[in-house]
Chains A and B, each alone.
Chain A
Amino acid sequence: MKTRLIALFAMLLLAITGAGAQTTEADVILGVWETGSGKARVKIDKVGEKYFGKIVWLREPNNEEGKPKVDKNNPDEKMRTTPLLGYRMLKDFNYSGEKTWEDGTIYDPENGSTYSCEITMTDENTLDVRGFIGVSVFGRTDVWKRVQVKKKA
């Protein structure tokens, strides 16, 4: 009985630590990233097993009337009053190994289009974010850089 208990405990420990290692590798994407144009910063979070990214900073947060920018180009009329700050522009990414997150979508608020998307981490501070239409060849890669947020005193 004692031997079986130790074996069970060992298996559980292995499963937990194994899962932990997988989670750690996938979670390196978590953090705040600046888009290639430098117009926005996106915070990537994990919800369940999937990864999402929301806009947390805009270089120009207000529209020409001085009001906070909203998602005015969204093809869905109901969404056009949604503030861009806090908007989830990356959705539903799964980690597929080899520093790649796929099966997600990216939304471009500048034209209201949603593209298929794959993210590859080329180094700890750099993401290749490739939005594409149908197949990857019809796409464009934007390189995002990690930003270090300064802690408030």
Chain B
Amino acid sequence: MRSFILVVGMLAGLAAYAQETDTTEVEDYSQYADAELAGDAKRFATQKVLDQSPNKLISIGYDYQSFYFMDLAYFGPPDAQGLIASPERVTNSFNSGLRLAANVPVISRNNIIVNLGGNYWETRYDIENPENVTNPLALSLDRYGLRTMGLSTTIFKPFNEKQVLFVLAQADLNGNYSLADIQSLKYTRYSVFAIYGWKMHDRLMYGFGLARTYRAGEQIILPLFMYNYTFPSRKWGVESIFPARAHLRRTFNPRSMAFFGYELEGQTYHIANRGNEFDQWLPNNADDLELRRGELRIRLMYERSIKDFIWVSVQAGLRYNWRFNLDQGDFYRGFTGDQPYLAENKIGNPLYINFSINLVSP
């Protein structure tokens, strides 16, 4: 009996020793080169090239534009002599506003990635001496500003190790509404793009596609060219979906990078006659106005990790006005349409800064 217990005890002790032993040993790694995938496994391209900037899961940002002049066209009734007044010059002291966004993967597999996103952007205006201003658009902007709320879904579908498809669909509610009284969903604007691409190797991916977008301020259909490339030195790279945005990237390390380039931003905003600002100028139809705002942001950007997955992003540059016109109703003008605007405005090109804190994706 004693010897039996002794044997069992020794066996148990050996087992425990074996489990605690560090199995680290010099290994011939060359044996793992000659291997094949088990079963009917297939390899797929990943959605990014080496050193590409990380996706932002959550972003909390603030945007500020310095002062600029606005030459706002008259669109009221002609005077007794049938004359139209000259544009009115107003000064906007600054624009500012929060920019919140979330973009979370709901399906994340090698053969498909589906992200759902939401965003809230606001642009506040500060018109100088509004009591002396007659232009109703300036008064409306000063009082209510502009807001955008949107939902989006992004799909990345690789077909094999080389061919990939990107699809983005987005629904936005843009206007001068308040959060307490959000405008009707009938003013929802839809954007979509699709790009078919090729991942040639870990440092190069390019593709061609089409977009139906409001980025230039009004609905257009555009061809797209995606080009993401990291140079062999891995210090420099290009991240672009032309013509929407293009950046030259300088990678200091995977947690710190700078960019120089541009992004086209814009939307069409439903301008409601909230405080009857437009009654005198448009006595019969003041409820169906669309502000076509499109702008080019030429910028320097710096992004870095401050702790693990928390990144800061700072950008500064020129906000170049592309379009700031008023239409009655939303319709497709395209590149060749000759429908006149209700008001063609000219606004200045101020400097701007943008700061955000972001939670980035694995």
Chain A residues packing against B (C-beta within 8 Å): 1, 5, 9, 12, 32, 34, 36-39, 41, 43, 45, 47-49, 56-57, 60, 64, 73, 75, 85-86, 108, 110-113, 115, 123-126, 128, 130-133, 137-143, 145-150, 152
Contact = CB atoms under 8 A, between A and B. Distances in A.
B29 A57 contact: yes
B175 to A, nearest CB: 31
A111 B54 contact: yes
B147 to A, nearest CB: 27
Interface residues of B, number: 46
A38 B43 contact: yes
A113 B309 contact: yes
B33 interface: yes
Given A73-B253, A86-B27, A146-B37, A110 B359 contact: no
B159 to A, nearest CB: 15
A56 B32 contact: yes
User: Top 8 closest A-B pairs, CB basis?
Assistant: A111-B254, A145-B41, A57-B32, A143-B110, A36-B110, A147-B35, A125-B39, A125-B38
Contact of A48 (B19, B113, B161, B233): B19
Interface in B42-81: 43-44, 46, 50-51, 54, 57
Given A56-B27, A64-B234, A148-B38, A141 B108 contact: yes
Contacts of A49: 19
A147 B33 CA distance: 10
26 contacts: A1-B1, A5-B4, A12-B8, A37-B46, A38-B161, A41-B32, A47-B19, A48-B19, A49-B19, A57-B32, A73-B255, A110-B51, A111-B54, A111-B255, A113-B309, A113-B362, A132-B362, A133-B57, A133-B359, A138-B104, A145-B39, A146-B38, A147-B32, A147-B37, A149-B34, A152-B31
